[in-house]
Amino acid sequence: MKNVVLLLLVIVCFTGEIKSQGVTGKLVDENGAALAEVQLQLYASPNVYNAISGSDGTFSFDIITGLEDNQLPTGYFVSDNFPNPFNPRTRIGITLPNSGNVKVEVFNLLGESVVDVIEQTFDAGTNYIDIELNGLPNGIYVSRITIGDKYAVVKKLMLIYGSQHLTTSGGVINTQLNKSSNNYLETVLDSLVATSSIIGRKTFTNLPVFVSGTLNLGDLIIERYCPGTPTVTYAGKTYNTVQIGNQCWLKENLDVGTMIPGIDEMANNGIIEKYCYNNNPTNCETYGGLYQWNETMQYSTTPGVQGICPPEWHIPTWEEFNTLKGAVGGDGNALKREDQGIGGGQGTNTSGFSALLAGFRDDDGGSFGGLGYYTTFWSSTEGGSAAGAGVLFLGYDNGVIGLYYGTKTDGFSVRCLKD
């Protein structure tokens, strides 16, 4: 009896209450990697809720729900269930101005369906639907009554064994929805919009209806690869792609050509040549090749030329590197893979660019250096001097994105950009 009284107090205290409840979830890419710092807007008409995904991709919205008057149009009425508490059957009265389809669903407070859906077509007037929860544990349940796929009302049901039975002749007092009754409103989640300079704008629709408590949307997947082009196969090797803002990049450094010793200069001989760090071919497999500028450009000086990139891809221009820098807010750590760099230079890879600190080949004697410390990418834009061209530079101990001019005869990495 004491438990019954406590449960009744919960019902009384709930009546008319407006409370904050939650919608949670997690943003991930197609590989399950978390997507951080994404602006989120949840549209639940007439309200819009805002959140930002955390470093682990999780997000949470506080949803304000409450009881309101007259949620059904004139002529429609839904009664409180009677009896309530009940054991184990209760009845709901539904008044319709015209014939229509009525669907009744019952859930526990975890949002799990506990009985078969009841769906019937009723004539105009007052009709009754019985709900039986025989065999289920004592507690509060939620019934959602949907009328003609247009209107929905949510009622709280309290099952307590030993309480009042519904008699076969028992009627129901038909009452208009009001704050003194034991109903509360479901919230229809219209859409969830995820936006950032990196991923662009992604919209999730067909979200579940939020009733009460916490609704977990689970993992929401945003595919990071370029639309229609998840991979590119070129010269016997397959590269992944990544969409960053309005740019489509190869996700790995280019590794194409025939290795030559670091001490040699590359030549315009009709053969694509590459350096591998410390003259070790396995370093090319991991970090990609290192190339002099002229070889990268295939001896053209036209900005945006294909060069050694696959067909329909090109060597990025200085301006396109600037666009990439803007997309990540100037944060070099967003471009580096998570296992690259230390301290203030630790990679976060929120962009998906997955840069490796691949080092360089020095034009002074053909030595190699900087593996694990630096990486430099060629642009297709000349500058600084006749012997220079634009590069993008990342270091191991800071988050700076350096855009400056390198010496054309040095050996740097190449990332290709889709035309």
Is 329 a domain residue?
yes
Same domain, 242 and 366: yes
Cα(161)–Cα(134) distance, rounded to whole angstroms? Answer: 9
Residues whose CB falls within 8 Å of the CB of residue 40, separated by 6 or more in sequence, listed in order: 27, 50, 51, 52, 53, 59, 61, 192, 193, 194, 195
pLDDT at 179: 30
Is 378 a domain residue?
yes
Element containing residue 152 per DSSP (H, E): strand 151-159
CA distance readout (Å), 350 to 220, 337, 338: 16, 9, 9
Same domain, 377 and 414: yes
What would the two tokens of residue 63 be? 């949803």
Same domain, 141 and 272: no
Same domain, 108 and 208: no
Same domain, 298 and 392: yes
Is 72 a domain residue?
no
* Of residues 7, 6, 5, 3, the one with CA closest to residue 140: 7
CA distance readout (Å), 187 to 21, 66, 190, 293, 379: 11, 10, 9, 59, 51
> Residue 73 CB: number of other CB atoms within 10 A?
10
Same domain, 303 and 320: yes
Dihedral, 339, 412, 301, 390 alpha carbons, nearest 10? 60
Average pLDDT of the residues of the chain: 86
Is 9 a domain residue?
no
Same domain, 23 and 119: no
Which string of DSSP letters, residue by residue, matches 82-135? BSSSBSSEEEEEEEESS-EEEEEEEE-TTS-B-SPPEEEEE-SEEEEEEEE-TT
Domain that holds residue 30: 18-66+188-221
Q: Which residue in this structure is represented by tokens 């991709």? A: 57
Measure CA 161 to chain center.
44
Domain count, the chain: 3
Same domain, 37 and 150: no
More confident residue, 182 or 163: 163
Is 289 a domain residue?
yes
62-76, 163-177, 315-329: which range is least confident on average?
163-177
pLDDT at 111: 75
Q: What confidence tier does 7 reach under pLDDT thresholds 50, 70, 90? A: very low
Cα(153)–Cα(365) distance, rounded to whole angstroms? Answer: 79
pLDDT tens readout for residues 200-255: 889 999 888 776 668 899 999 999 999 999 999 999 999 999 999 999 999 999 99
pTM of the model: 0.67
Q: What confidence tier does 181 reach under pLDDT thresholds 50, 70, 90? A: very low
Side-chain half-sphere of 49: how many Cα atoms within 13 Å? 22
CATH of the domain at 148: 2.60.40.1930
> Residue 333 CB: number of other CB atoms within 10 A?
23
Cα(19)–Cα(143) distance, rounded to whole angstroms? Answer: 19
114-118, 163-167, 318-322: which range is least confident on average?
163-167
| Res. 10: pLDDT tops 90 | no
Same domain, 35 and 84: no
Q: Work out the average pLDDT over 266-272.
A: 96
CATH of the domain at 214: 2.60.40.10
Is 42 a domain residue?
yes
Is 134 a domain residue?
yes
Q: Work out the average pLDDT over 279-304.
A: 98
Residues whose CB falls within 8 Å of the CB of residue 100, separated by 6 or more in sequence, listed in order: 121, 122, 147, 148
Residues whose CB falls within 8 Å of the CB of residue 223, separated by 6 or more in sequence, listed in order: 29, 30, 230
Same domain, 323 and 401: yes
Is 293 a domain residue?
yes
Same domain, 386 and 298: yes
Strand segments (E) across 168-325 = 183-184, 191-196, 200-204, 214-221, 231-234, 237-244, 247-250, 258-259, 273-274, 313-314
Same domain, 180 and 323: no
Cα(192)–Cα(40) distance, rounded to whole angstroms? Answer: 7
Residue 391 phi, psi (nearest 5): -135, 160
Q: Which residue in this structure is represented by tokens 């990609």? A: 288
Q: In 3-state terms, what secondary structure has residue 287?
A: helix
Q: Work out the average pLDDT over 260-277.
A: 97
Among the candidates 170, 201, 221, a domain finishes at 221
